[in-house]
Amino acid sequence: MISLSDVREARERVGDAARHTPLERSRTFSEMSGADVHLKLENFQRTGAFKIRGAMNRIATLSESEREAGVVTASAGNHAQGVALAADRAGVDATVVMPKFAPVSKVKATRGYGASVRLEGVDYDEAQAYAHELEREEGRTYVHAFDDPVVMAGQGTLGLEIVDDCPDLDTVVVPIGGGGLISGVAVAIKEQLPDVRVVGVQAEGAASAAKSLEAGAVREIDSVDTIADGIATRSVGEQTFEVMAEYVDEVVTVDDREIALALTLLLERSKTLVEGAGAVALAAVLSEAFEYDEDETIVAALCGGNIDLNRLGTVIRRGLVQMGRYLKITIDLKDRPGELERVSSIVARTGANVYAVHHDRTSRDVAVNAAELELELETDDAEHAADIVDALEADGYEVEILS
């Protein structure tokens, strides 16, 4: 098990590569939650995520023979970039195996940092299996994304920065994928401030940590399904599990709707872009996934900002739905002149902005004397969206809410 001295030694090794990222109080999220909320902006880290910390520490400790043979790793994206940059800075050849459906932006960035990238498997675990094949075949050193005490110690340097910048904190909230980040951070904080509460957060569609801690042993889930691809692992590590069992006070989950809402609010209110995994800590605060007191000082770790632009649009749309700012509905119309204008007039009176219209008279699901109208509307809030539906129904239309 790692110790505080391991984390402090790691800080000496990674200091030239990893930035000391900002920690800022958020007035917006403090008012929304009632707590005193601070954001650890690790999305501003080099490579866009915390993974450079652990990767740099691990590669810095390679023997000369290991350096000559090169390294191999598996990653959904952030660890890939960390290893690629750390290896490039150290002059070590690196091969990175990424899932076939890894975000395009992360694949391109990893290649841009100098690593050879291979796309194998549908998720992290299948990519990892292939990476271990390369480890055996080519004699490379495998750099684990999380289940390695040297990597965990490197990630823990983030915890040292939190204590330095917010020594009066009460609770720190940290995302959990495989457990490397929260293990290092928990040791760094608890060994200095034992009364501080450490809360881990997983996506509901990848919640292996909570199941493992409940069972008292590592439990693997069958599959993962979440927009937070950076923490989409089927299980935590054996070594990270031991640290979490010792140092982590509570593990909670958030669903994709809550993650999308937190991501969208960060973008709109704080002008801060994070990926799904980077939003889960704040999502846990805003959704009250764990109990906290009024004015309690909470630090939420925004662990990464590497979101694919194609996915960003989808996530923002989900977030707007949660905020009541986007409404998608269908209405069955009589197939006669003036019906579309009549609906448009109702929508206009409510003050909604039409984003898209689809008018279908030919679908086999639509009666011969009818048409189906699908509307996408920009709305002010949930109350405004409800007023639009009420106005349409008051005029005799049957409205189906799609999102």
Instruction: Quote the CA–CA distance of 127 and 116 in Å, as a whole number.
Output: 14
- Burial of 380 from C-beta contacts in 10 A (0-12 / 13-18 / 19+): middle
**Of 335, 266, 342, residue with least CA distance to 301:** 266
Contact call for residues 334 and 71 (beta carbons, < 8 A): no
Looking at the structure, do residues 26 and 173 belong to the same domain, yes or no? yes
Q: Give the contacts of 299 (CB within 8 A, at least 6 positions apart).
A: 23, 38, 39, 40, 162, 166, 169, 171, 172, 173
Q: What φ, ψ does residue 116 adopt, rounded to 5°?
A: -85, 125
Looking at the structure, do residues 42 and 76 belong to the same domain, yes or no? no
- Burial of 24 from C-beta contacts in 10 A (0-12 / 13-18 / 19+): middle
Q: For 381-390, write each residue's pLDDT tens digit.
A: 889 999 999 9
Looking at the structure, do residues 78 and 161 belong to the same domain, yes or no? no
Q: For 65-79, write each residue's pLDDT tens digit.
A: 999 999 999 987 889
What is the token pair recorded at 123? Answer: 């998720």
- Does residue 387 fall inside a structural domain? yes
- Burial of 12 from C-beta contacts in 10 A (0-12 / 13-18 / 19+): exposed
CATH at residue 136: 3.40.50.1100
Whole-model pTM?
Answer: 0.87
CATH at residue 396: 3.30.70.260
Tell me the one-letter amino acid at 348. Answer: A
DSSP 230: G
- Does residue 385 fall inside a structural domain? yes
Looking at the structure, do residues 44 and 162 belong to the same domain, yes or no? yes
User: Looking at 142, 172, 202, which one is the last position of a domain?
Assistant: 142
The separation between the first and the last C-alpha atoms of the chain, rounded to the nearest angstrom, is: 47
Domain count, the chain: 3
Helix axes 157-165, 180-190, angle to 10 degrees: 40
- Does residue 55 fall inside a structural domain? no
Would you give per-residue pLDDT tens digits along the chain (403 residues)? 899 999 999 999 998 899 999 999 999 999 999 999 999 999 999 999 999 999 999 999 999 999 999 999 998 788 999 999 999 999 999 999 999 988 788 899 999 999 999 999 988 789 989 999 999 999 999 999 999 999 999 999 999 999 999 999 999 999 999 999 999 999 999 999 999 999 999 999 999 998 999 899 999 998 889 999 889 888 999 999 999 999 999 999 999 999 999 999 999 999 999 999 999 999 999 999 999 999 999 999 999 998 888 888 888 888 888 888 899 999 888 877 888 888 888 988 999 888 888 887 666 666 667 788 899 999 998 899 999 999 999 988 888 888 8
User: Looking at 286, 318, 350, which one is the last position of a domain?
Assistant: 318
Helix axes 339-350, 382-394, angle to 10 degrees: 140
Looking at the structure, do residues 226 and 158 belong to the same domain, yes or no? yes
Looking at the structure, do residues 282 and 353 belong to the same domain, yes or no? no
Looking at the structure, do residues 137 and 181 belong to the same domain, yes or no? no
Looking at the structure, do residues 171 and 256 belong to the same domain, yes or no? yes
Looking at the structure, do residues 168 and 277 belong to the same domain, yes or no? yes
Contact call for residues 40 and 158 (beta carbons, < 8 A): yes
Looking at the structure, do residues 127 and 178 belong to the same domain, yes or no? no
What is the token pair recorded at 391? Answer: 């106005």
User: Looking at 282, 301, 318, which one is the last position of a domain?
Assistant: 318
Q: Establish how many alpha carbons lie within 13 A of residue 42's alpha carbon, considering only the half-sphere containing its beta carbon.
A: 30
The residues facing 118 across adjacent strands are 97
Helix axes 4-14, 157-165, angle to 10 degrees: 90
Can you say how many angstroms the Cα of residue 198 is from the centroid of all Cα atoms in its chain? 18
Which residue intervals of 64-148 are DSSP H helices? 64-69, 78-90, 104-112, 124-138
Looking at the structure, do residues 159 and 273 belong to the same domain, yes or no? yes
Domain that holds residue 191: 4-49+148-318
Question: At 114, is the secondary structure helix, strand, or coil?
Answer: coil
Looking at the structure, do residues 165 and 128 belong to the same domain, yes or no? no
DSSP 231: G
- Does residue 54 fall inside a structural domain? no
